[in-house]
Homo-oligomer: A and B are copies of this chain.
Amino acid sequence: MVEVVHMIDSEVFLAFSTYATIVILKMMFMSLMTGYMRVSKQAFSNLEDTAMAKGEDKKKLVRIDPDVERVRRCHLNDLESIVPFVLIGLLYALTGPVLSTALLHFRVFVASRFIHTVAYTMALPQPTRGLAFGVGLLTTLSMAYRVLTTALFL
Binding site for B on A (CB under 8 A): 1-5, 8-9, 11, 13-15, 17-18, 20-22, 24-25, 27-28, 30-31, 45-49, 51-52, 70, 73, 75, 79-81, 83-84, 86-88, 90-91, 94, 120, 123-126, 129, 133, 137, 140-141, 144, 147-148, 151-154
Contact = CB atoms under 8 A, between A and B. Distances in A.
A4 B13 CA distance: 10
Contact of A25 (B17, B83, B124, B144): B144
| Copies of this chain assembled into the complex | 3
Contacts of A151: 14, 17-18, 21
Contact of A83 (B46, B83, B120): B83
Given A21-B144, A123-B48, A83 B79 contact: yes
B18 A154 contact: yes
